[in-house]
Structure 1
Amino acid sequence: MKIVFMGTPDFSVPILEGILEENWEVVGVVTQPDRPKGRKKILTPPPVKQAAEVHGIPVLQPKTLKKEENVQAVLDLHPDVIITAAFGQLLPESLLSAPPYKAVNVHASLLPKYRGGAPIHQAVIDGEEKSGVTIMYMEKEMDAGGILARREVAITEVDTAGTLHDKLSAAGRNLLLETLPRLADQQITSEPQDSQEATFAPNIKRGREKINWNEPGHVIYNQVRGMNPWPGAYTTYKGKPIKIWETRKTHVSSAKETAPGTILALEEDGIVTAAADDTAVIITSLQPSGKKAMKAADYLRGSHELKPGERFNGDENNV
């Protein structure tokens, strides 16, 4: 069975490598174009391209699959099946319907929950206790195709988007490798999704990164870990942005008498900050503007700028 693999970020790499380790025939890889990266804007190939080149696999990098010639370039590889995992572009119907075994996607949620581009972030932000991966047929509507297999993965209280990403990538690899032989032997049937149970996880936009201290402490805690390691939750202090990388939930009796966002105390391991509903969080890792990420304890030893009684986002009425 000839496979065209379509993927882009780190999430996709273990899945591609698993297919190769099991000696499936990958006739081509389709990924996103190289992008400028870092402060120096060095043009950098996506992780999947780097992995494919190690194995000598032909790589296509179309800016868009809306152009007929780009679709034809994929079809010219004569795939029996297309496998996608975090590719980053929608596939046209002409590509979905062409392979004999159709197009199959590895999606990082338990569909129909969390369709869309940021299911890992959203599951952590929402405080979910479990997520998972789904192998499903692709169709025109995003993440709505018939389900071939699913596997649950627990989300712990200390998981971040980064740690859950790694868990789900490994789970997706293993589940796909279990599913592929049954797909090739036509010994598998798909289960339609119940669209009424669908929820959505759109890509993270800039406005969602900012902490709203008028939310309860547990909501802020989940937002911070759901934005770690990318794109990073942030707040402001005296008009300057500060990224918040880690927090800890806490109970502080004085929080109920204090405006949300107020710095209640500077403790040895962090910055105690009031939230809504009489709750608080302790900021334990942060990144001031123009500096590297650091433990809050290290920051407090080297800076005396933060003062109890003042407010994060105070210059913006805490929104």
Structure 2
Amino acid sequence: MNQPRKRAVVFAYHNVGVRCLKVLLAGGVDVALVVTHQDSATENIWFESVIQVCETEGIPYVTPEDGKSPDLLQAVQAARPDLMFSFYFRHMLPQAILDVAPAYNMHGSLLPAYRGRAPTNWAVLHGEHETGATLHEMTVKPDAGAIVAQQAVPILPDDTAFEVFGKVTVAAELALYRVLPDLLAGTAPRTPNDLTQGGYFGGRKPEDGRIDWTQPARAVYNLHRAVAPPYPGAFTDVGPHRYVIERARLHHGSLPGLPAGLAVVDNAIFGVCGDGRALRIHSLLANGMRLSPAELQAQLAQTQA
């Protein structure tokens, strides 16, 4: 005799939300309600749309401004879910919602490492060689519940956070796909999430991309990789000009005698760092426009005059 389909309420946004929602549908889950955010023109340049999936599949959805609103709680209760999932939903969910049904969250790191906000960016910033995705039980304390499934992905030496996030999206899909049958059967494993390990990280702001050229080149390069476009980018101010690094690589040669900061050498742009090493900057932006080495050299000469 076939078991009745499990009903779920899904809190979802971003590419991870889209891919994991599709895994649930492919796995036979009856998605009774999706809770998401309104699509943003500034983000949908590279975010897929959960709303579009809902409209295509005929799934009811709501876009509350507050995760703690009584109306949202009533909508979740009315859906009568057996399970709940959160895939990159941005609002914290209160205990009253978590009490409705067992809830699971997908987090973009290998918990307990990099709990909190922007885990992919933080992992790249700290020069990690690996990250991934973790499905875990939801508690009011963020990223603290028992681990149900994990999938690791490599961070290559020149990967940007945007490139790594593409891998994390696939990792999230794989982790959920593998464990979903056991989760629906009630036999999924539970591994303690050791909060004495790893650490908690807060959100990042554009100002956090300011370059300190006294830092070693590897640290400056990791900052560039962590916030490279489509994130706001690592930047430096020289006189009235703000320069944003769009593309760069560590330079393996030497640039003796140059002070820390931007420089033009042999018609190439460099960022000289505190350890004497440098970044070779292949694309530098000012006011959103790419600068040639000659244009940058002229502007640097004006500020030094």
Q: TM-score, normalised by structure 1?
A: 0.85
The Cα of 1:258 is off from its aligned counterpart by 3.0
The match for 1:28 among 25, 33, 49 is: 33
The Cα of 1:103 is off from its aligned counterpart by 0.5
The count of aligned residue pairs is 296
Counterpart in the other structure of 1:273:
271
Which letter does structure 2 place at the counterpart of 1:95?
A: I
Moved more, 61-70 or 137-146: 61-70
Counterpart in the other structure of 1:92:
94
Structure 2 CA distance for partners of 1:77 and 1:266, relative to 1, 3 Å: farther
For the residue of structure 2 that corresponds to 1:27, the secondary structure is: strand
Residue pair 1:116, 1:201 contacting (<8 A) in 2 also: yes
Question: 1:149-190, CA deviations, whole angstroms, 9 ceiling, x for partnerless residues?
Answer: 112111111211111111111111111021111111111231
Q: How far, CA to CA, are the matches of 2:76 and 2:191 in structure 1?
A: 28
Which letter does structure 1 place at the counterpart of 2:285?
A: Q
Q: Which runs of 4+ in 1 moved over 3 A?
A: 251-255, 308-311
Q: Gaps (5+ residues) in structure 1? A: 315-319
Q: How far, CA to CA, are the matches of 1:266 and 1:71 in structure 2?
A: 63
Q: How far, CA to CA, are the matches of 2:254 and 2:300 in structure 1?
A: 18
Residue pair 1:266, 1:308 contacting (<8 A) in 2 also: no
Residue pair 1:225, 1:245 contacting (<8 A) in 2 also: no
Question: 1:203-224, CA deviations, whole angstroms, 9 ceiling, x for partnerless residues?
Answer: 1112211112111111111111
Matched, 1:17 2:27: no
For the residue of structure 2 that corresponds to 1:65, the secondary structure is: coil
The Cα of 1:108 is off from its aligned counterpart by 0.7
Q: How far, CA to CA, are the matches of 2:202 and 2:82 in structure 1?
A: 31
For the residue of structure 2 that corresponds to 1:273, the secondary structure is: strand
Q: How far, CA to CA, are the matches of 1:139 and 1:65 in structure 2?
A: 15
Q: How far, CA to CA, are the matches of 1:67 and 1:145 in structure 2?
A: 23
For the residue of structure 2 that corresponds to 1:253, the secondary structure is: coil
Counterpart in the other structure of 2:247:
246
Structure 2 CA distance for partners of 1:106 and 1:166, relative to 1, 3 Å: same
For the residue of structure 2 that corresponds to 1:64, the secondary structure is: coil
Question: 1:22-67, CA deviations, whole angstroms, 9 ceiling, x for partnerless residues?
Answer: 33211111012344x35xx99xx97111221111111111101222
Residue pair 1:117, 1:202 contacting (<8 A) in 2 also: yes
Residue pair 1:112, 1:194 contacting (<8 A) in 2 also: yes
Counterpart in the other structure of 1:195:
195
Counterpart in the other structure of 2:219:
219
The match for 1:60 among 52, 55, 62 is: 62
Which letter does structure 2 place at the counterpart of 1:125?
A: L
Which letter does structure 2 place at the counterpart of 1:151?
A: Q
Aligned Cα RMSD in Å? Answer: 2.5
Counterpart in the other structure of 1:305:
295
The match for 2:7 among 2, 14, 17 is: 2
Counterpart in the other structure of 2:236:
235
Residue pair 2:18, 2:48 contacting (<8 A) in 1 also: no
The Cα of 1:272 is off from its aligned counterpart by 1.7
Moved more, 225-234 or 276-285: 225-234
Q: How far, CA to CA, are the matches of 1:135 and 1:210 in structure 2?
A: 33
Q: How far, CA to CA, are the matches of 2:282 and 2:83 in structure 1?
A: 47
The Cα of 1:144 is off from its aligned counterpart by 0.6
Residue pair 2:108, 2:134 contacting (<8 A) in 1 also: yes
What fraction of aligned residue pairs are identical, expressed as a percent? 30
Q: How far, CA to CA, are the matches of 2:213 and 2:207 in structure 1?
A: 14
Q: How far, CA to CA, are the matches of 2:234 and 2:298 in structure 1?
A: 22
Which letter does structure 2 place at the counterpart of 1:278?
A: G
Q: How far, CA to CA, are the matches of 1:50 and 1:205 in structure 2?
A: 29
Counterpart in the other structure of 2:154:
154
Question: 1:61-91, CA deviations, whole angstroms, 9 ceiling, x for partnerless residues?
Answer: 1101222222111221111111111100101
Which letter does structure 1 place at the counterpart of 2:75?
A: A
Q: How far, CA to CA, are the matches of 1:189 and 1:212 in structure 2?
A: 45
Residue pair 2:245, 2:281 contacting (<8 A) in 1 also: yes
Residue pair 1:31, 1:46 contacting (<8 A) in 2 also: no
Which letter does structure 2 place at the counterpart of 1:152?
A: A
For the residue of structure 1 that corresponds to 2:50, the secondary structure is: helix
Residue pair 1:234, 1:241 contacting (<8 A) in 2 also: yes
Q: Gaps (5+ residues) in structure 2? A: 1-5
Question: 1:126-162, CA deviations, whole angstroms, 9 ceiling, x for partnerless residues?
Answer: 1100001111000011101111111211111121111
